[in-house]
Structure 1
């Protein structure tokens, strides 16, 4: 069985399990996270709605925030700004028992075909620095997603293969979860990085692109 998990669906399931008594959630992230928060019955604040918010640093200025926010979720946000960072910081530091959740801590992402871009991990790190709190990471390489998959599909990790292009998230997640691992070299990791003596995360298999395995899947159908 080849494992491919949609991050948004996974996080939505996490919210439903972990946040049963919380009404409002502040999102530093994009529309996908907002939609998943709303889908499981919570009120999502922030996200794209705060993309154009501006902070005026002037005497006697008090930044107001929603005291009913019980969780802050931080993910990749192409419109990150100082307003969002301050709002998230106040919620985490001043609201009683406010959870701090990160979708992932990827340092960079291959968001265009020409270069890498700062990933969600950069934004999570900014909030960690301001709050002096560490986030609960629900994405890779955390094994929470595997626990969710095992509960939903009842398939042992030994029958799964984690396919991804990052060593420190995708492949490490597979190793932490007890899966086979396949590194695809068409993304952020190249073969030189894998073979570097300083790299201690080794996939069991690697291939140049995901389409390389399609022929194998056609030749050997996956048994139930």
Structure 2
């Protein structure tokens, strides 16, 4: 191996180490025996959740689905079906904002009554790498990459969502009383579907992708809300 090849090898290895992402189950307070597939975002102050442990994520990855699955599998090791973002604090006890390269999650167990509560929300997520232009009832919006917007629905009203592209997608979503929240990702990127019975992507219509609550709630934590 000549000096140039050796240098390239060392640089590539160093870059891999620097960009590597690690996910650790850093604390286990207790475990729960449950086989449900849910993993939802909660407010632990109002949900009556049972605290189980913590996960630390160190390093950034743009593959949100892969990150989610790795966190999900760690959480299921101790029976968790809910989570919340746990901000780091500075020395003067000020809570730091979310940092996609280094963050902590608290893990919980909640009852079925908690994760089946109805919602009037539709969540629309941009892609992880590109901004997306969308139309909601003929009103245009630009969603920057790694952001989302929320539609508060009215029962009986129909919402037409399209991607404003020549061959783009368009879907119609109805507001229904006592219905669960709905989650969609707007993306021109290829995405992989979940295998049967696992959380993730449920359906795809062109570049508007229906995703399940667990993955959608994870995106709500790591993306910025565009109000």
TM-score by length of 2: 0.22
Q: Which has the higher helix share?
A: 1
Q: Which has the higher strand share?
A: 2
